[in-house]
Amino acid sequence: MISVGLALPGPTLAQSTSHRRAAGQAAAVRAAATPAAVSTPSVPPTGAAVGSGRTVGTAASGTLMGMSILPDSGQTETVSVTGGMSGGNGVTNTTPGGGLMPVERAPRSQSGMTRDYIAKQAPTTSIDNLVASLPGVVSAKIDPLGMFPNDTMTMRGLTQSQIGFLFEGAPEADPLSYVTFSPTLVDNENIGSVTVSQGSPDLDGPLLNAVGGQISTFEINPSHRMGGYVDVMGGTHSGNKEFARFETGDIGNSGVRGFVSFSYTSANNWRGPGDQFRYHVDSKFVKEWGQGNSIRFILGFNRQSINAMLNPTLQQWRQMGDHYNLDATYTPGDVNYYKFSQVNSNVVNIVAPMQFTLTKELQLNLTPYYVHEYGPQVGGENIPVSGGYFGAATYGTPGSQYGALTQPYATNGYLTALLNDPWNQKNSGLNSTLRWTHGNNTLTFGWWYSYAAHTERYQYDLVNYAGNPVTGYGLNPVRLSNGQILSGDNLNFWQQVNALYVSDNIKLLHDKLQIGGGFKAAMMYRSGTNNLPGASPWKATGSYFEPLPQFYASYQIDRHDQVFINGTTAFRAPVSVEAYTPDYDPNSGQIAKAGSLKPEYSIGEEIGYRHTGFYNFSISLFNLNLTNHNISSSGYIPGSTSPVAEPINAGGETSRGVQAEFGLGYWHHFSPYLSGQYLHSTMDNNFDAGADILPTKGKISVGSPKFTGAIGLQYDNGTVFGNFNLRYVDSQYTTFMNDESIPSYTTSDLTLGYRFRSIGPARHPQIQLNLINIGDVHYLAAAGSTTGNAHTMVGMHGAVVAGSAPIYLTGAPFAAFVSMSSAF
């Protein structure tokens, strides 16, 4: 097992490749568990005000695999407010809890947010950080702007790679590592609504990893009126963002309307040398006709580059705090030079949801999608001139078919080089649903097909004594004596998914009682090769068939009160390419063995109650049993800034707990919000550490804080507005043996703003101040890796198991950003 106690640059761990991503910064060994399953609409709420993403003054409408989310079309759920408004940024001040508690009717634990909350956060805030106040969610903010693409969020103790992520109904997680880099998806100004299901994924959702629930995000709807919106931001760490959106309005009598937006964001790293920048394009066009017919076309593009920051062990954090960083200047052989550690994320994202009313009783939904992600990712490593490895073969040794490396700039028998990883991944699919409603019964049939391909062969770019690539990035790779490119990976990986599902829902007792159930048959085939000399196995395949039943029921006591219960299942196929083919390195030879091919499988149950009205309250109890917990442990290749993942089957886990949230409608312009969760998550098996067995059965799962909570308060009188959020996260273990942990921490953010009267073409211009971490708390936000034990100990069979110190992600400090925006 690779040591994960190295304290080297973090974002290099959040690689955008299948196996590099699996080595993500949050490091993927937070062994925990939580419920799964159920289903919410794969189409956005109807009747939403422009920019709100939710129905103004009513509950969001839709269906849950045929289960009506609203009590009845004639039973409008009113929300007491002091008066709605229509701001240029989509704020209406109609959502209780300051925008954090829209009315929910799904028979499962579910929370959300609208523009009333989203628009008052810093313009660069990512989806991961937006949901940080919702019950059960822990989102580690390691960058004040929220731009770092990292797997840093957990929900009920499960990692981000165990949470399904839908954007306009399409899956956005990497199909192999399941990590979602939400900063690359959509600009904050274009997010209409976000819905979080803490334990249960949609049965009809195109997801293969949602054992811990799902997050669904929708963009704002284009306006019927031609116009635009601009937002300009500046602040600490030279942070800045320029955003502009153009709305076409209704285009003649075509029934088509749309928007296109562009943004540029940049900042200096808040600690250590380096910077970051991001170019982003969003566009959305809508065609509507007849009764319930629509086609939406969403196209997004993202180009982003980030210099990494150095992640410490607990001891290094205590000694150096924020000063433990990469090196700003280069000396020969120094792989910790900051220019050697870069994350480049390029994404093309296309989604085209379609809804057709075929007859009065028959509805067809189609969601085709295409996601293209590519690098390069850059790290640093010293590679041996002779005696090194090319796959399982050696070079520069007696009897080897490969001679010693002959490139210049050698120092003490090593060449300093950039590990340049130009990974390339394409993922496409179609999710189709046919829904038949007859009387009080709704029957749903569906099919999801997906195909993903991933290619990757990294190379080593030689650098000179000044630390610069000799002929530029990717132009002159280090080659062996026979001309072959030196590499540790030459991957060609693909997967194909077919999932068939059926569900039935019936309404009884004047539609107050709804009972539903469904079944999903998920079929996946994977094949991967590593075409390096001696790779064993050089080719591997995986074939999976998983039956996924669900049951759910709800009873609408009256127009304000509802109870629900559900039993759900979900699965996640093995994480990362290393679950199939091994990794190699010029210094060490084989560094990661193929892991277990058994998929995770979860069985979850929930029972809950919610009240809606002027005050809104929800509470739910949950239980989850998880088998074959697939963990992609991560660490750096010794002597490099290049990560590696190693799949581990950690056995079973059990998670139980209770979550609750409370929010008021606007009262004298104030709207408060409270949320909290108690979680008890334990490992069900002892852990095989290689040298011996560790007695981990009954230990608290890694990354599973016992208590989490949030307090929010919003004020908005239409002219002056403010928003305050305080979050508490209990201590979290970072080793399976519970011998090292992250201390508990509390952070808070504040928003202050003022809206001006319209001035000429400028509608509702405003100025907004966002203060991040207003107490300037210095803290460790999350585990960058996890290990079996931090301290050396004797295993169950008497052998010594060496300790390995986890590395940690450092929480973002105080930051202030001022933005000015206006609609036109």
pLDDT at 8: 31
- pLDDT confidence tier of residue 476, bands split at 50, 70 and 90: confident
Instruction: Look at strands 67-68 and 63-64 and give their pairing.
Output: antiparallel
- Tell me the pLDDT tens digit for each residue of 296-347: 999 999 999 999 888 899 999 999 998 899 999 999 999 999 999 888 889 9
HSE-CB at 537 with a 13 A cutoff on CA atoms is 13
Asked: is 11-377+411-823 a CATH 2.40.170.20 domain? The reply is yes
The closest alpha carbon to 487, from 533, 437, 522, 438, belongs to 533
- pLDDT confidence tier of residue 474, bands split at 50, 70 and 90: low
The mean of the pLDDT values for the chain is: 86
Higher pLDDT, 598 or 736: 736
Distance between CA atoms of 487 and 819, rounded to whole angstroms? 46
Find the angle CA(623)-CA(629)-CA(635) to the nearest 5 degrees. 130
pLDDT at 638: 63
Higher pLDDT, 694 or 596: 694
pLDDT at 575: 82
- Tell me the pLDDT tens digit for each residue of 678-692: 999 999 999 988 889
> Is 60 exceeded by the pLDDT of residue 173?
yes
pLDDT at 84: 57
- Tell me the pLDDT tens digit for each residue of 97-107: 999 999 999 99
> Is 80 exceeded by the pLDDT of residue 639?
no
- The phi and psi torsions of 9 (rounded to 5 degrees) equal -55, 135
pLDDT at 86: 62
Task: Tell me the helix, strand and coil percentages in the chain, rounded to 5.
Answer: 5, 50, 45
- pLDDT confidence tier of residue 657, bands split at 50, 70 and 90: very high
Higher pLDDT, 51 or 355: 355
pLDDT at 221: 95
Please give the share of the chain, as a percent, with pLDDT higher than 70. 86
- pLDDT confidence tier of residue 70, bands split at 50, 70 and 90: very low
- Tell me the pLDDT tens digit for each residue of 491-543: 999 999 999 999 999 999 999 999 999 999 999 999 999 999 998 888 989 99
- pLDDT confidence tier of residue 32, bands split at 50, 70 and 90: very low
**Least confident among 347-361, 369-383, 584-598:** 584-598
| Residues found in the chain | 824
pLDDT at 517: 95
HEC string for 111-130: EEECHHHHCCCCCCCCHHHH
- Predicted TM-score (pTM) of the model is 0.89
pLDDT at 591: 79
- Tell me, what amino acid is at 739? D
End-to-end distance of the chain based on CA atoms, in angstroms?
A: 58
Would you kindly state where each structural domain of the chain is located, as residue ranges? 11-377+411-823
The stretch 155-160 carries a mean pLDDT of: 91
- Tell me the pLDDT tens digit for each residue of 775-798: 999 999 998 888 899 999 999 999
The stretch 760-782 carries a mean pLDDT of: 95
